Structure 1
Amino acid sequence: MLKFFRSIRQRLFKQKKFKNYILYAIGEILLVMIGILLALQVNNWNEHRKSKGTLKSTLKTISSDLKRDTIRAGYLIEIIELNQENSKAVIDRKVTIENFTTYPRTRSLVTIYQPFDIQTKGYDILKRISEQQENEKDSLFADLTQFYSLFIPNIQKSNERLEKVVIGNLEEFQEFPWFVDWSQGNTTEEMIAYFAISEDYRKKVAAYNVLAYGNHLQLIKGYKENAKHVLERIEKRLEED
């Protein structure tokens, strides 16, 4: 093809048809420019297609993460609410030495540590994409970023607070003569008395109750509810694409 164009130029030049030569040269330049523009457009189309595919794949990953999170959240909510009922019994002094066996969870109310770890595989990909592309105009991506930015640090802090309290309670329990029996699931009269009627344990339960049920539970519930709404929007977007 290049030889063909070259031969035309040489023939026009030899024939001293300068006007035609100039017109031809301009036409050739225009053809080259059109070719470059078409190549750029094709490249842009390919990049757009790749970008769209990456975003769709990311949304699918986030959807999978949120589904696992909501299942885990539901499980934790059930456990925490059940423990809350037993905690209330201790705080309200309904537990006694005589009925202690009817409240089997009483002995472990302040040493339960059930962290809620949010799945962030999809969100981590989203952050990398956002650094390379402009997705601010997309309300879904903006809301996803806001959703994770709000819940991840708050739930992580709540996990850390609970872990610290649980470790502290375990360290204090080690000082009691019944600790080894307690750790092995056995009971002693002194242990029952502590968990059933001691004011020290009642205060520990009340303090734990503030963190676990007044804060941690509400964060998990809030995450679950918002995750459901986000999932609906993601599913709708995937269907549209």
Structure 2
Amino acid sequence: MENNNSRYFKYAIGEILLVVIGILIALSINNWNDARKQKIVDQKYFQNLKNNLIGDTERLNLMITYSEEKVKAAKRMMSKIKHDSIGSLYEFSDDMRTLLFVDEFRPDQSTYNEMKSSGNFSKLQNDSLKLKMLKLQKTYIDVASLQEHMRYDFNIFIENFEKFVDWSKYFDLNRSNPTQLIFIHDSTYIERHADILRGEITNLFQNKVFANNIFLSEINHAYGMDVLKKNQVQINDIINVLEIEITN
């Protein structure tokens, strides 16, 4: 009887162990399958994020170039104001065109927003990537705040400028294509009314508000250019991490 009980007890323990092992194997297979599915989802998001950020980098390159041109134009304009020298009417109109052209950086947040709304962002196992992405979002907020401030300054700038100069007269609007940023000078009008145009610019240069606005424009775009370059470094860093994740 004791031998039978002992064999039965061992048999029961063996059965229990087999059941437990079977459950553990099933859980392991299920977890592996879930991890595989999540990996596929992550890879899709990583590739889309990379594409979004590459587009943002190209956009930033353009915005940095615009900022550099605006800083140069503002410096030239400040030099003319200080020396009370108008110079070429064509150069003046070109510099004003550069300063009056407005564009802003708007990042492509489509993939990031989708990851947040679906809960997949919180499932990312790469904590370093998550932290870099969160820091990038903060930088985007800083850029948006800076652009809002510059938009306010620009509105004051253009409102004051229009009191002195009708800038549209410098260009042949029928031959120009503003949507493509192509402006053709109306040389006939400029040459015929050169004295009037120079008189308008003289009055403009004597206006302290205009001079201050040019000075602010130089400072704002120089600072903005620095912010955009730092933003670019962040994005390139994240792209490198994403490439490693995609390769793995």
Shorter chain as normaliser: what TM range? 0.7 to 0.9
Please, what TM-score do these two structures have when normalized by structure 1? Answer: 0.73
Residue 209 of structure 1 pairs with residue 218 of structure 2: yes
Q: Identify if the C-alpha distance between structure 1 residues 141 and 110 changes in structure 2 by more than 3 Å, giving closer, same or farther.
A: same
Q: Give unmatched runs, 5+ long, in structure 1.
A: 1-16
Q: Identify if the C-alpha distance between structure 1 residues 104 and 91 changes in structure 2 by more than 3 Å, giving closer, same or farther.
A: same
- Larger relative contact order (Cα-Cα within 8 Å, sequence gap ≥ 6): 2
* Match 1:152 to one of 131, 137, 140: 140
Please, what TM-score do these two structures have when normalized by structure 2? Answer: 0.72
The match for 1:12 is: none
Q: Give unmatched runs, 5+ long, in structure 2.
A: 174-185, 191-195
The match for 2:234 is: 226
> Identity percentage over the alignment?
20
In structure 2, what is the Cα distance between the partners aligned to 1:208 and 1:196? Answer: 15
The match for 2:156 is: 168
Q: Which amino acid aligns with 1:121?
A: S
In structure 1, what is the Cα distance between the partners aligned to 2:206 and 2:163? Answer: 18
* Match 1:78 to one of 48, 65, 86: 65
Tell me the CA shift for residue 98 of structure 1.
4.3
In structure 1, what is the Cα distance between the partners aligned to 2:221 and 2:74? Answer: 11
In structure 1, what is the Cα distance between the partners aligned to 2:243 and 2:39? Answer: 16
In structure 2, what is the Cα distance between the partners aligned to 1:206 and 1:119? Answer: 32
Contact 2:73/2:99 (<8 A) preserved: no
Query: Which protein has the larger Cα radius of gyration, Structure 1 or Structure 2?
Result: 1
The CA RMSD over aligned residues, in Å, is 3.3
Alignment of 1:47-86 (within 5 A): 47-86=34-73
Alignment of 1:177-196 (within 5 A): 178=166, 189=197, 191-194=200-203
In structure 1, what is the Cα distance between the partners aligned to 2:72 and 2:108? Answer: 29
The match for 1:131 is: 122
Q: How many aligned residue pairs are there?
A: 220
Tell me the CA shift for residue 154 of structure 1.
1.1
Partner of 1:160, secondary structure, is helix
For each residue in 1:13-56, what CA deviation from the matched residue of structure 2 results, as whole angstroms up to 9, or x when unmatched? xxxx8776666555444443333222211111011112222222
In structure 2, what is the Cα distance between the partners aligned to 1:105 and 1:20? Answer: 99
In structure 1, what is the Cα distance between the partners aligned to 2:124 and 2:226? Answer: 35
Contact 1:83/1:109 (<8 A) preserved: yes
Contact 1:100/1:196 (<8 A) preserved: no
Q: Which amino acid aligns with 1:193?
A: T
Residue 35 of structure 1 pairs with residue 35 of structure 2: no
Q: Identify if the C-alpha distance between structure 1 residues 184 and 208 changes in structure 2 by more than 3 Å, giving closer, same or farther.
A: farther
In structure 2, what is the Cα distance between the partners aligned to 1:177 and 1:71? Answer: 35
Tell me the CA shift for residue 68 of structure 1.
0.6
Q: Identify if the C-alpha distance between structure 1 residues 175 and 192 changes in structure 2 by more than 3 Å, giving closer, same or farther.
A: closer
Partner of 1:168, secondary structure, is helix
